[in-house]
Amino acid sequence: MHKVLIIEDDSRIAQLVKRGLEDRGYSVDLAYDGNMGRKLGLRGSYGLIIIDVILPGMNGIEVCQEIKKSNSSIPIIMLTALGTADDKVEGFDAGADDYLVKPFDFRELEVRIRNLIKLFSNKEFTSNSVIEYEGVVLDANLKSITREGKSLSLTPKEYNLLEYMLRNRERVLSRKEIAENVWDTHFDTGTNFIDVYINYLRKKVDKEFHSKLIHTRPGMGFILKKE
């Protein structure tokens, strides 16, 4: 039985999701404000946490950051009415692993919960995994990245995106593939958050260096390759 924490101040939504998950065999705890959610999230043993962004006491972005800082292996879904690309970027930067906008279909939420739990339970963490490519060195154990000896300061999602591109270097990656493998979410053609993150990476990985590694393939996606 997987244990889920729902941090949601709308009691109607919280109770609906709770009942739906319990009917499917999950054990569910509820918190109606950010402070209590943070307290439960930090001390509880949860298989997944669902967090609303706008919460009394402490907002969902801060709660997500605190929980991820303490235990990065807990998958988190942001569940919110804020659905612009900037909102999603902020959520992902805080450490969220998926983002679902209200109103939502419970069946989609359940699928995303199952996928995240499966993904995190099957993750293999290698203690000394180092990737090197064209002066870029990624140390998965230290979660550090350098280029030509210069340390690059990346957010968690920028790091995950660059790691995926390094592991799949010299291959064109579609937006759909990146969304499903880096964010474990279905690609929404109405948003441009992947392009936003690619631009973030370009500024940090390529801007101050002579050779450019991150390239756009119009109509196809992106590739990490020396050109």
Q: pLDDT tens digit string along 103-139? A: 889 999 999 999 888 887 765 444 347 889 999 999 8
Domains of the chain by residue range? 3-121, 130-224
Q: What is the model's pLDDT at position 65?
A: 93
DSSP 3-state of 150: strand
Task: Fold for 3-121, please state it.
Answer: Rossmann fold (3.40.50)
113 neighbors 4 (Cβ within 8 angstroms): yes
Residue 74 pLDDT exceeds 60? yes
pLDDT tens digits, one per residue of 140-180: 878 899 999 999 999 888 998 999 999 889 999 998 888 88
184 neighbors 176 (Cβ within 8 angstroms): no
Give the least confident one: 60-64, 179-183, 200-204, 214-218.
Answer: 179-183
Task: Fold for 130-224, please state it.
Answer: Arc Repressor Mutant, subunit A (1.10.10)
Q: What is the pTM of this model?
A: 0.62
Alpha helices in 24-104 (DSSP H): 34-43, 60-70, 85-93
Q: What is the model's pLDDT at position 20?
A: 95
Q: What is the model's pLDDT at position 117?
A: 86
